Amino acid sequence: MPELRLLELTEPGKGNAIQHGMLQARGAWRFMADADLSMPIAQVSRFLPPQLEGAEVAIASREAKGARRITEPRFRHFVGRVFNLLVQVLVLPGIQDSQCGFKCFTAEAAALIFPLQTEKGWSFDVELLAIARENGLKIVEVPIDWTYSAGSRMNVFKEAFRMAGDLLRIRRKRSVGAYRA
């Protein structure tokens, strides 16, 4: 598989890994997926033309009309909705699901967004979308079928305060123009 490249990183963080991968990727479209493949891989075609003609950033949504959540505990869903409310109030009004781990970028959008990314942890998704929005890119939410994975490595309680602080930092950076290309 000559198109496959292995990147070795010394710094931790999902956001760090995604950023490096996207900056090294080639091709007209750059898609990121959670390792647990909680979205069936067959749904990747929903993110590409001709289905999404004109979209520069397409994000999977568990909240968009037509989406389905499978086996997700009610408490986990509730916590996610509370966080999304904070995201909408502080950074991204109108985005129903910033945290779903499936996102697709045009090559041009990736080249603009990822060099400006600074968040390396769990809140990197919000920052990517804030950068896209700040630069006038068209973001669309794509309804998906999503299956809850009990093996998640994120501790919701442990990360809650850190992520709230991240949202405030992203909001501040946006207000001072740090995300303008």
pLDDT in tens, 86-138: 999 999 999 999 999 899 999 999 999 999 999 998 899 999 999 999 999 99
What is the pLDDT at residue 153?
63
Q: Cα–Cα distance between 61 and 99 in angstroms, integer?
A: 9
Q: Which stretches of the chain score pLDDT less than 50?
A: none
Question: Residues 123, 129, 133, 136: what is their CA dihedral angle, to the nearest 10 degrees?
Answer: 140
CA dist 75 to 4, 80, 82, 164, Å? 39, 9, 11, 19
14-173 maps to which CATH number? 3.90.550.10
Closest CA to 119 of 96, 145, 156, 91: 91
Q: Which two tokens stand for residue 9?
A: 């990183």
The pLDDT, as a whole number, for residue 154 is 64
Query: Do 118 and 127 contact (CB within 8 A), yes or no?
Result: yes
Cβ atoms < 10 Å from Cβ of 56 = 20
What is the domain partition of the chain in residue ranges? 14-173
What span, in angstroms and rounded, lies between the C-alpha atoms of 60 and 141? 6
Q: How far apart are CA 50 and CA 80, in angstroms?
A: 31
The predicted pLDDT at position 88 comes to 97
pLDDT reported for residue 109: 98
Q: What is the pLDDT of residue 135?
A: 98
Question: What's the longest Cα–Cα distance across the chain?
Answer: 44
